[in-house]
Structure 1
């Protein structure tokens, strides 16, 4: 009996620990109790539905972005082995820090974003090789891709066509034929379609200088490209392609990875 009382005494919270716990949950200025926010509530603070933008993406550097990607991959890749998951990881050193871009990451400001991190003149000059863009913009869906194409239309010229490489109303055969016949400096597409076009050699990577991920955009359901399994896993596999990974940190022919 004495032994049991001794154990209860040792495990029972002291008055000091209770006071400390209460203090941690009170506002230091008003003394009012503070309710801890759930993770989803903290995320909600960054979502601007009217602008269709998740402002958090613009605020996190390459280290936090790499961690964010890894968490998303593990959230949706529950059927993958630890080795398969690790193969999809993107090193912080692969990602270009874009936190210096201060404007809202919407369609209107996409050209200015590109020009801050790329040679503005080259954006409007297509390589001589057909179907070999310098810039690939990757997004979640066909309708969004069409909007992105319109936002960078300023770079289109007689000898430089903005490529639309997505599934919405465009067959793979049509995309292949377009790439075979046209020079392009900028191509916009979805991960699955882009992968398919690389695999059949229609989309050439010889002149590729940058990958731009349409990461800040959210739809009316507050979801972005990294918030859905159907888009996040294809994106992760796209970013982890061997020919990309070997070039992210290449000093001679580097490949920029930008999250817009």
Structure 2
């Protein structure tokens, strides 16, 4: 076929309806998908906000819930703490938002649970944050909660045997642990989303499709 580009976003294709009569078809060419790098080049990236998370939950549960039910699921403002303004290291940020960590750590005795849960987009990012949390954790025990090289059954046994204070993991594995009753969220005091960090493709935690479908359910196990 012969393509005749008349204007941006459309073209005419000439094909042979039979051996003698040509047929003219109008094709609508969709615009190219915007790349994250192009979007960032035009405007400075905005840090995540409580409103972003509220909207994410609304989008996730909107098709399944009534307006009244969605309003009941809305997280109160008191649930949110200030985001890291990047003037802090991860450890110093945790010290600022959790000044009574030593007491919380000492009083936490329940197995199959954590006091603090850090959610990242990948196993590599989890390892990076685990290394940077050393100055904060004190005598607290940290556990990796991601799927890479670790079976979920092994993680469930480790949680059953030991008192773990901080869990650092990926949405998919944490969701699986919660659904299989391997991780009890009742004693949880701090849920930290690694929202603003970007991977090599410049994607944030909320930009990755396989992540988007998992982590909103941390807030509502039975949803």
TM-score by length of 2: 0.67
Q: How does 1:128-139 map to 2 (within 5 A)?
A: 128-139=109-120
Partner Cα separation in structure 1 for residue 216 and residue 70 of structure 2 = 6
Q: How does 1:107-122 map to 2 (within 5 A)?
A: 109-118=89-98, 119-122=100-103
Shift, 1:230, TM fit: 0.6
Larger strand proportion of the pair: 2
- Report the CA distance shift for 1:166/1:98 in structure 2 as closer, same or farther (over 3 A): same
User: SS state of the match for residue 177, structure 1?
Assistant: helix
Q: 1:146 aligns with which of 116, 127, 141?
A: 127
Q: How does 1:26-45 map to 2 (within 5 A)?
A: 43-44=40-41, 45=43
Please state if 1:220 is matched with 2:200.
yes
Partner Cα separation in structure 1 for residue 47 and residue 126 of structure 2 = 19
Instruction: Name 2:218's counterpart in structure 1.
Output: 238
Please state if 1:102 is matched with 2:85.
yes
**Contact 1:127–1:185 (CA under 8 A) maintained in structure 2:** yes
Instruction: Name 1:210's counterpart in structure 2.
Output: 190
Instruction: Name 1:229's counterpart in structure 2.
Output: 209
What whole-Å deviation, never above 9, does each CA across 1:89-131 have from its counterpart, x for those lacking one? 96352651415x43347xxx11222222222324654622223
Q: How does 1:1-260 map to 2 (within 5 A)?
A: 43-44=40-41, 45-47=43-45, 56-57=46-47, 60=49, 62-67=50-55, 69=56, 74=59, 82-83=63-64, 91=74, 93=76, 95-99=79-83, 101-104=84-87, 109-118=89-98, 119-122=100-103, 124-125=105-106, 127-154=108-135, 155-157=137-139, 160-242=140-222
- Report the CA distance shift for 1:121/1:203 in structure 2 as closer, same or farther (over 3 A): same
**Contact 1:163–1:184 (CA under 8 A) maintained in structure 2:** yes
Partner Cα separation in structure 2 for residue 39 and residue 199 of structure 1 = 35
In the alignment, structure 2 segments of 5+ residues that lack a partner are: 1-33
TM-score by length of 1: 0.59
The alignment's C-alpha RMSD in Å is 3.3
Count of aligned pairs between the two proteins: 183
**Contact 1:176–1:202 (CA under 8 A) maintained in structure 2:** yes
Higher relative contact order (CA 8 A, sep 6+): 1
Partner Cα separation in structure 2 for residue 162 and residue 176 of structure 1 = 14
Shift, 1:145, TM fit: 1.1
